[in-house]
Amino acid sequence: MDTIYDQFGAQKYNATSPLLFSICGGTADTQIASDACVIPPESITKDDGFTIFTTGMPGAWTGVEHQTMVWCHQVRWRVARTLLGMTAAGSRQAKLVVAEEWLLGRKAIQADASTGQTRRIPVTSSAMSIKVSSDYDVASPIRWCRDELDCQQVRAEVTVLPAPANAQAPFPLPGEGVRPNEQAVVLDMDLSSSIGHLELHADPRISVNPGALVRQVVTAKKWSE
């Protein structure tokens, strides 16, 4: 493995070089040590590829060693969607965006505005979580209305996070990981004031929970902690 990564580091990457992605299984991987799996930062830039651990891969969120990756549906499905999307992408940058969407969860699929219902949420914070049942149940674009006549679409940073039904389960979840219906989409918005309300069009079965954006270090071993 050291020899392989030495070869990566010796390459001169440019706009015509292939993208490089490394999927690591974490501590559960007894075949390929994570230290060897991680692409050295001096080898490539953020425009050339990245390393992703299966514990951080949306829909998996658990350690998956290299042999199990062959049949682990949560991992195979995302790799397959990445490859299909990259095939249809025109440019090198577009291929990188596709990989970031499916492997890192940086994705917001727009719902059909003709379905669902409009939710009105008071602007009391800059973040909200949306409990979804799959990657395709994400809400439509969000509008910020200072009053009934002054509305504008706002940009939201989207993050997909695990939301297991059993809050007492260990973290990260061993075995099969998190099911597709046990995830949430967090929308982080930068609003200049707390005036007015937010509007988004979403399926009535989707749970929308606004709240304050809090960043903290979690050292507990259970989701409820």
- Assigned token pair, 129: 């979580």
The neighbour count for residue 195, using CB atoms within 10 Å, is 13
Q: DSSP assignment, residue 36?
A: H
Question: pLDDT by residue (tens digit) across 48-63?
Answer: 899 999 888 887 888 8
Model pLDDT, residue 193:
76
Place of tokens 């993208």: 19
Question: pLDDT by residue (tens digit) across 10-51?
Answer: 777 777 888 989 999 888 788 888 878 888 777 788 888 999
- Distance CA(160)–CA(108), nearest Å, equals 9
Q: Is the pLDDT of residue 85 over 90?
A: yes
- Assigned token pair, 190: 């930068």
Q: Which residues pair with 133 in a beta bridge?
A: none
Q: How many CA atoms lie within 13 A of 101 on its CB side?
A: 19
Per-chain mean pLDDT for the chain: 78
**What confidence tier does 112 reach under pLDDT thresholds 50, 70, 90?**
very low
Please state, in angstroms and as integers, the Cα–Cα distance from residue 55 to each residue in 16, 58, 146, 147, 171, following that order: 31, 8, 40, 43, 10
The alpha-carbon radius of gyration of the chain (Å, integer) is 20
- Assigned token pair, 55: 């514990």
At residue 95, φ and ψ (nearest 5 deg) are -65, -40
- Distance CA(6)–CA(201), nearest Å, equals 50
User: Nearest 10 degrees: CA dihedral of 192, 197, 202, 205?
Assistant: 120
Question: pLDDT by residue (tens digit) across 129-185?
Answer: 777 665 545 556 788 888 878 888 887 777 777 777 777 777 666 666 667 677 777
